[in-house]
Chain A
């Protein structure tokens, strides 16, 4: 190219566009999670029976309420892309931040792969209903990821507006399904009396089911990744996140109620698309079609949000040189972290093609869980190092330190739940994070500018 390269535009550093509002934040949070009500949550039933699943739904709901409270306070103060990663960098330290960044990238990329697989499987079962057996799912998995990456590449506003529409429609379908089963007249459609059994594994099954109970809500904390793209982040993010948690508590309870009233727990515990099966059982073609579309929408919305969040996290790691700096670029026209978006496409597709769905889901859940464990001591340190009044907080959560302690207790219980039945996966995933940490300390950290990592205009922390 003969012409000079453009070195600056209007003498300002490049930045992402601030175009989002609280509804987009709600759509980003709920969009990622809602697919969990269409598939995945029911593995709690397999691990402990129907009642265990309901207990897990509420206990883990409490865990996430703590997460949302804690996260809202820190995010309303540390508003930057990268979310919890940036929090860790300012409050705990570089190695922790590196690990948190990896949790985010891994949790979201793997979740994205799982979502794309669901879209592929759905196309296949749709083709079967219409009389075409053995449809190849691969092109639809790739198409899902490629299309959503393309949207993400071209701008955040269109990406999350799409999420708002399809998430809302998917949520609506759950409400419609709830009314379609005639919820007030037991025995007409719903058969809870005949189908609900005692706890098949006893109380240990209840604890074991906490692991997949996270699937009811996993990813809601991703809302703070949008901090650099939302108008007045300090207000919008807590608002969108809290609204999201409430939506999900309602959706999760409805889902449990409908599904357990229609299917024996042994079937439900291993079903791939339980809500679609529920609609099939009702014998109405319209409902079946509605749930088919809603499941596809929910999976798409989730994959979409995951690409959005994972690319922001990867971008932030690169911007601080924790990861290769090449990925820290922003597109001058679309203002998105375009190289990170592009990089995640082959990775998400390859995860999907390994065929290790349960392994990928476990990795995703555990990465999330490690992140919540981090939040507990992050919160304690945050209040200690900058006590109330020393810096401006957009939101202050009540009853500190009870939410942090509750969260830590529930995290420990969930580690134990993962140990029950998935112990080998747990150890192998821990091995990954330990090796990555050692690698970071020995090799990666030397490329990082020390003082530049601390970007907040805060006073010196107490005790340092």
Chain B
């Protein structure tokens, strides 16, 4: 049946387009932004409120 052959080609091409798009985008980002900035995220995100405040700091 014709339909399934076309579907196979469509699946291959759609995958290729998405993969190429991601690779190209990743390269563009690397050329536009400084590596230091891209790597600057800190663990736990920005608001340190969620994970624990010191309750009894001196109590060690």
The CA of A139 and the CA of B9, in the complex, are separated in Å by 8
Name the contact of B29 in the complex, choosing from A331, A390, A460 (C-beta under 8 A).
A331
CB under 8 Å from chain B, chain A span 439-464? 455-460, 462
B55–A329 touching, CB < 8 Å: no
Q: How far is the CA of A168 from the CA of B28 in the complex (A)?
A: 37
Known: A6-B34, A455-B44. Contact between A77 and B51, CB under 8 A? yes
Residues of B within 8 A of A13 (CB): 40-42
Taking a contact as CB atoms under 8 Å apart, the answer to whether B34 and A5 are in contact is yes
> Which of the listed residues B3, B14, B18, B35 has the most CB atoms from chain A within 10 Å of its own CB?
B18
A1 touches B32 (CB 8 A): yes
A193 within 8 A of partner (CB): no
A156 to B52, CA, bound (A): 25
A75-101 vs B, CB cutoff 8 Å, 1 = contact: the mask equals: 001111110001000000000000000
CB distance from B34 to the nearest CB of A (A): 4
Interchain nearest-CB distance for B35 vs A (Å) = 7
Number of A-B contacts (CB under 8 A): 157
Across the interface, A459 reaches (CB within 8 A) one of B9, B15, B34, B60, namely: B60
* A contact residues vs B (CB 8 Å cutoff): 1, 5-9, 12-16, 18, 77-82, 86, 127, 130-132, 135-136, 139-140, 142-143, 145-147, 149-150, 153, 227-228, 232-234, 316, 319-320, 325, 328-333, 338-339, 341-342, 345, 389-394, 455-460, 462
Instruction: Give Cα A78 to B18, complex, Å.
Output: 35
Chain A residue, CB-CB nearest to B23: A342
Q: How far is the CB of A152 from chain B (nearest CB, A)?
A: 10
Q: What distance in Å separates the Cβ of A157 from its nearest Cβ neighbour in chain B?
A: 15
- What's the minimum C-beta distance from B45 to chain A, rounded to whole angstroms? 4
Whether the pair B43, A86 counts as a contact (CB closer than 8 A) is yes
Picked from A153, A333, A389, A392, the residue with its CB within 8 Å of the CB of B53 is A392
Is B51's CB under 8 angstroms from A234's CB? yes
A233 to B51, CA, bound (A): 8
Q: Are B51 and A5 in contact (CB under 8 A)?
A: no
Top 3 closest pairs, chain A to chain B, by CB? A139-B11, A13-B40, A329-B38
CA distance A391 to B60 in the complex (A): 11
Task: Identify which of B33, B43, B52 contacts A77 (C-beta below 8 A).
Answer: B52
Supposing A457-B54, A458-B52 touch, asked if A338 and B26 sit within 8 A by C-beta, the answer is yes
Using a CB-CB cutoff of 8 Å, which residues 6-60 of chain B contact chain A? 8-9, 11-12, 14-15, 18-19, 21-23, 25-26, 29, 31-48, 50-57, 59-60
Contact residues in A for B57 (Cβ distance below 8 Å): 459
| B33 to A: closest C-beta gap in Å | 5
Residues A143 and B14 in contact, CB atoms below 8 Å apart = yes
List 16 additional A-B contacts (Cβ < 8 Å) besides A139-B12, A456-B44. A7-B33, A7-B34, A13-B41, A15-B46, A78-B51, A135-B8, A140-B11, A143-B11, A228-B44, A328-B39, A392-B55, A393-B52, A455-B44, A457-B54, A458-B54, A459-B54
Flag if A316 contacts B43 (CB, 8 Å): yes
Q: Determine how close the nearest CB of chain A comes to the CB of B58; give it in whole angstroms.
A: 8
- Docked pose: A91 CA to B11 CA in angstroms: 46
CB of B50 within 8 A of CB of A232, answer: yes
Other-chain residue from A77, A147, A393 in contact with B15 (beta carbon distance below 8 A): A147
Pick the contact of A391: B9, B33, B54 (CB < 8 A). B54
Complex: A462 Cα to B60 Cα, angstroms: 6
Write the nearest CB–CB distance from A179 to chain B, whole angstroms: 34
- B15 contacts A131, C-beta separation under 8 Å: no
Closest to A337 in B: B41
Q: Report the minimal beta-carbon distance from B37 to chain A, rounded to whole angstroms.
A: 5
